[in-house]
Amino acid sequence: MKKVIWCLVVMCCSFLFAQTNVVKHKVAKGESITKIAQKYAVTPLDIYKLNPDAQAGISENMLLLIPKKTAAIPPKIIEAKTVKHTVAAKETLYSISKLYETTVADIESKNSEVKNGLSIGQVLNITVKRGWVKPQETVLHEVKPKETKYGIAKQYGITVEKLEKKNPEIIGKELPLGFVLVIKGQKSAIELPKAEQPKVELPMVKPAVVNDTYTVKPQETLYGLANQFACSQEELIALNPELKDGVRDGMILKIPAKKAVPIKKDYADLTKSLKKNGTKKAALLLPFNITKLDQDTINSTKSRLKKDKFLNMTLDFYSGALMAIDSVKKLGVAVDVTILDSDETKSTSNVSNLIRENNLKSFDAVIGPFYQNNVEKTAEILGSVPVFSPLSKDYDKKYANLIQATPSNDDIKNAMFDFMRAKGGNMVAIIDPKKQSIKQFIVDNHKDVQFVNFTDKGVLDVAQLKSLLVAGKENFVVMETEKTNLILSITTNLLSLQKQFDIKLVILGENEALDFEEIQMSRLTKLKMHYPSQFSVNNSDEAAIFDTNYKKKNKIFPNQFATRGFDMTFDVLLRLSQEKPILETLNETASQQIESRFNYVSNPEGGFINKGVHILYYDTDLTIKQAN
């Protein structure tokens, strides 16, 4: 009882705190939602999200809640300073210029003697920008047997994405034994002696049994073929070595016998196929970390809520889950849901005790914990009980009962390419030269994408861009950069070329640079910017009802984590209440809830992964819509 009371106190504090992020606006005569959105530098969607009733129209003196827009931080004045650099063995002017983020010409202007060459021990004067920090000492890691990207990243306290960014050659590939990974710094800064250089051996993939052959069609890619036949790219290459040189029209490929072409699943309404047979038991393992809160006073709890984003996220997820449990019961389904405190951090949790004390091995399904290593431990202990990982995109160990409910970053990007390809579009990519990891990802997985070059001065080659566009066809232009000036240059040129070509701008994920005031929304809407997302924009009656009911209960509209808590819990409880066992429903039925899609496919290495991704775009009426 004490724990429940604490949770209610904390949740109330959370909701009161969240309400301070809005302002009130009284509608004046003649005002429209668009005008009000422009006044507060938000989108109409932001206003509708907080005021669902406004979708039916607004009237004079009507009160609206408007989200506050965070003020932009004024740019700092960049000043310069001079530092000393002692030349080390094998260093060049170019490598030193990169180290200090300057140019070779600038170093030569401050050190006239370098024109005669560099010598070990020579001291150079280097001009650097104020605030420049010398890169961390280089840390290298040699891959050992059975090591994985996730395990190595966790060992050094970084993400898999950051590890791949430092080592773009491993993107989309398994780690070769003995390969030297850069963890910090630059690989060129420290080189292993040649006698000690480990021999890099590519992992051997055992060829599968051949069942049939397949003739490659125009525009097909290695990624698409692997997806089509539910196997890895390495397996296809092992059977068809000629694929190493690229996919060509008319190639006859051998197809693995053990892999079946996946059945395309339509999204179904799980509420229409409920079987009310007996009570289903489920558990939610959520990181409330009550033991910490028990030591707090009311004031310190409020203070914690202002700082502890993880706790706020947990409480929001929990509030949505409670709504889901209530909704399922109103459908007449008998469910018994136990909510437990996983008391977890990145490296610790209470799951072992919870499983033993609550006999979770007798349950029908478990949602959580939040941290991936803890959810993997839960799946390992529970064995045959389905365990859903609700939030994590990174995973290492695979278990037959482990279900990854969040699409991985690569799957989200790939969904965008699948959409463009399904539209029969011409795909062109403009990739910032500093974004080599994403360029390598596209090269490895989507060979039908053409790249726009930059000149020697780093300027976009507009003439080449125009030559790659196709008249009478949808041209999807992928833009990957966080530089405001480059975004402005790209969008300006694309808007100009729209007079001759059908052009749609594409980004592959969130880009905070697009929120800067310099980037006007009209640029993105005129180019109908498309992007893939785990979450949708749902303007249906069901979504409006959920928002309204949530606000009545919690005095605030649901945020993304509250909606995610509802979607995850509602979907799992509905799947438990179908005629077939829950793991069979994962294979056969895709579903869509308020904001999330759940399109599970079998992971060849064990368990299930979610491929449910939305493709959204900015429309000319300043709203975000779902692409068909």
Q: Is the dihedral of CA 265, 274, 364, 390 positive or negative?
A: positive
Residue 41 clears pLDDT 70, i.e. is over it? yes
> Are residues 565 and 327 in contact, defined by beta-carbon separation less than 8 angstroms?
no
Residue 258 clears pLDDT 60, i.e. is over it? no
> Are residues 170 and 181 in contact, defined by beta-carbon separation less than 8 angstroms?
yes
Supply the pLDDT for residue 299: 58
> What is the pLDDT averaged over residues 350-374?
94
Name which of 189-198, 281-290, 475-484 the model is least confident about: 189-198
**DSSP 8-state secondary structure symbol assigned to residue 256:** E
Supply the pLDDT for residue 132: 67
Residue 203 clears pLDDT 70, i.e. is over it? no
- Per residue in 407-444, pLDDT (tens digit) is 999 999 999 999 999 898 999 999 998 888 899 999 88
> Are residues 378 and 283 in contact, defined by beta-carbon separation less than 8 angstroms?
no
Query: Pick the residue with more confidence: 229 or 415?
Result: 415
CA distance 24 to 68: 10
Q: State the pairing for strand pair 600-602/608-610.
A: antiparallel
Return the number of other C-beta atoms located less than 10 Å from residue 386's C-beta. 25
Residue 182 clears pLDDT 90, i.e. is over it? no
Q: Over pLDDT 90: what percentage of the chain?
A: 37
CA distance 550 to 558: 7
Letter string b/e over residues 84-97, b meaning 16 or more CB atoms within 10 A of that residue's CB: ebebeeebebeebb
Supply the pLDDT for residue 10: 43
**Structural domains of the chain sorted by starting position, each given as residue range(s) with its CATH number in brackets:** 80-129 (3.10.350.10), 139-196 (3.10.350.10), 210-256 (3.10.350.10), 410-533 (3.40.50)
Of the pLDDT bands very low, low, confident and very high (cuts 50, 70, 90), residue 620 is confident
Angle, helices 409-422/436-445, rounded to nearest 10 degrees: 60
- Per residue in 142-174, pLDDT (tens digit) is 887 767 787 787 777 787 778 888 887 787 677
Of the pLDDT bands very low, low, confident and very high (cuts 50, 70, 90), residue 49 is confident
Supply the pLDDT for residue 301: 61
Supply the pLDDT for residue 251: 86
Angle, helices 2-18/298-307, rounded to nearest 10 degrees: 50
- Per residue in 509-527, pLDDT (tens digit) is 888 888 787 888 889 999 9
Q: Over pLDDT 70: what percentage of the chain?
A: 83
> What is the pLDDT averaged over residues 84-96?
74
Beta bridge partners of 141: 181
CA distance 596 to 557: 17
| Type of residue found at 131 | G
Edge-to-edge strands, sheet with 280-286: 335-341, 280-286, 365-367, 387-389, 402-404, 608-610, 600-602
Q: What is the pTM of this model?
A: 0.62
Supply the pLDDT for residue 534: 92
Supply the pLDDT for residue 314: 92
Query: Pick the residue with more confidence: 107 or 566?
Result: 566
DSSP, residue by residue, 492-527: HHHHHHTTTSEEEEE-SS--GGGGSTTS-HHHHHHT
Computed over every residue of the chain, the mean pLDDT equals: 81
3-class SS of residue 66: strand
3-class SS of residue 608: strand
**Which pair of tokens denotes residue 532?**
């893939």
> What is the pLDDT averaged over residues 80-98?
75
Name which of 134-143, 146-155, 530-539 the model is least confident about: 134-143
